[in-house]
Amino acid sequence: MNMLNCSCLLVISLVLFFFGSWLLPITDPTESVYALTAKEMLEADDWLSPRIYGNFWYDKPIMFYSELLTAYKLFGVNEFAARFFPAVFATIGLFITYFFGAKLYTERVGLAAAVMLATTLEYWYLAHAVITDMTLLVMFSVTLMSFYLGYRAGRPQWYLISFAASGVAVLTKGPIGFFLPGLIILIFLAWQSDLQHLKKLFRPINLLVFAAIVALWYLPMTLIHGAPFVENFLGVHNFLRATVSEYPKADVWYYYLLISLVGFFPWSFVIIGIAIKNLRRLPKFDVHEKFLIVWALTVVIFFQLCATKYVTYTLPAMIPAAIFIARYLVNRWRLFVGVAGAMLIFCPLFTCLVASSVTEDNSARRAAQIIAPLIDDSTCVVSHGKYSPSLVFYTGAKIYRLETQEQFEKLRPQNMTWTSKNVMPFILFDELPADKKIVAVVSSGLVENFFDVTKDKWELVGEVEGGTLESLAEDYSNGNERRKIKSKIFIRRQTDGDNR
């Protein structure tokens, strides 16, 4: 690998993935769950069993939580630490793309593919996101790259790396880390009329290495937690996710078509032209092209067929797509350099000027700044409306989800339903303690309902609006008209129960 090219990729990674990550607050609803889970694991000094709100939590395997715990140990519990390993794995993703593209074609193709990948909208976003997808991308890709290099060179020892990487992928996101790469390999070998090659792939030593890596976490978790772990992890977070849509509005046939075009921006316009140009020569694809096509299309089609859809699921399709397209862009080098250069300028500016504000607007960090000084040993903190794990992350307080009895019956956790994810502590209106100070965070649309249900005397102490926080005193003194208020914060100071 050319040292100059490697140096360029490292600089690009520092500029695009690491710079400004400390400016981005932890957002709801997904990032905050991961960040808070690792924080509670650190406080409990438990590096095995994920936990949140004081409960064991079987949403994802251990790999990403281990990364967060390591970063917290190195840098403290903060935004930079939470976003550190996604940026690290994004950087690794660039280098393996460069390496694989160079092996298949030329170093220039590998470099172009890596730079193109780095400057796509989705890859840039996920390099900052506190979620599992970047780690999965790397292990998923190493699984397939090592298989293909071994297959083309006739060196089965590469398959040991493939199975080991797949084992780490299973430790990152679950069975999909083995099943989906396996499906891609199966389809590719069928296209090659070479299914008998599976005998070389599934040798006992490869399966043993895979099983040993997977058993590092799954075996102790099963022995310690038993049926609840198996039912929740495999049942809810894998089977249910594939068969019952968590977000029905997103379950449309064109979902990932749109996501692919938007996520691959600004390079997506090239995809359409290349696809049209090559559609007629399907039988003429060489073996490299076949593998890249099967890899990318299988990922997209598989997740399109699954009931639950997320923006991030098709990330593993981006590396083969980038390598495929880079072969055409190396012949248009001025265009390539111009677009890549523009994105290298645009992305850091976007991080500082836009992303920092957007993430603030989707985080409860500023609400936490109001609440934290109000909390003491005699305070009960409740949230009515949108429940924000980031509020728990930033305050470190136990925050109850405040609901009516009727609403609680709809939300209470039940096996094999999406309500099983509601593991936060609940409290009903008629259970509010009369002898404690209560701080209530109420979504703006539910304020009227809040006062209709409770008869307590509440004092408004703050409002959170559209990513900016202003105290009431500052707001009224400036004569500002309030707009887009997300939530209001109230306090009940009475502790004698006479206000009921």
pLDDT, tens digit (0-9, with 9 covering 90-100), for 151-190: 999 998 999 999 999 999 999 999 999 999 999 999 999 9
Is pLDDT at 453 greater than 50 in this prediction?
yes
**Tokens (6 digits) for 326:** 């880079």
Distance (Å, whole) CA 79 – CA 394? 11
Q: What is the pTM of this model?
A: 0.91
- Provide mean pLDDT across the span 64-70: 98
Q: Which pLDDT belongs to residue 494?
A: 61
Q: Which pLDDT belongs to residue 308?
A: 79
Is pLDDT at 456 greater than 50 in this prediction?
yes
Q: Which pLDDT belongs to residue 496?
A: 53
**Tokens (6 digits) for 297:** 């299309």
- Provide mean pLDDT across the span 446-450: 91
Q: Which pLDDT belongs to residue 105?
A: 96
Tell me how far CA of residue 74 lies from CA of 25, 87, 298, 310, 318, in angstroms: 19, 15, 38, 31, 31
Asked if 434 and 500 touch (Cβ cutoff 8 Å), the reply is: yes
pLDDT tier at 299, thresholds 50, 70, 90 = very high
- Provide mean pLDDT across the span 474-483: 40
Asked if 84 and 68 touch (Cβ cutoff 8 Å), the reply is: no
Give the phi and the psi of residue 330 in degrees, each rounded to 5: -65, -20
pLDDT tier at 127, thresholds 50, 70, 90 = very high
Mention every residue, 6+ apart, whose C-beta is less than 8 A from residue 354: none
Mean pLDDT of the chain: 89
Distance (Å, whole) CA 218 – CA 238? 15
Residue found by looking up tokens 């990152």 in the block: 172
Distance (Å, whole) CA 205 – CA 329? 41
Q: Which pLDDT belongs to residue 328?
A: 85
Is pLDDT at 353 greater than 50 in this prediction?
yes
pLDDT tier at 68, thresholds 50, 70, 90 = very high
Nearest-10 crossing angle of helices 107-118, 318-329: 120
* Higher-pLDDT residue of 325, 73: 73
- Provide mean pLDDT across the span 115-140: 97
Least confident of 114-128, 252-266, 375-389: 252-266
Which tens digit of pLDDT belongs to each residue from 385-427? Answer: 999 999 999 999 999 999 999 999 999 888 767 788 889 999 9
Is pLDDT at 207 greater than 80 in this prediction?
yes
Distance (Å, whole) CA 38 – CA 76? 12
Residue ranges covered by each domain of the chain = 3-354, 365-492
Is pLDDT at 196 greater than 50 in this prediction?
yes
pLDDT tier at 208, thresholds 50, 70, 90 = very high
Which tens digit of pLDDT belongs to each residue from 242-292? Answer: 677 677 777 787 888 888 889 999 998 777 766 676 666 555 788 999 999
Q: Which pLDDT belongs to residue 403?
A: 95
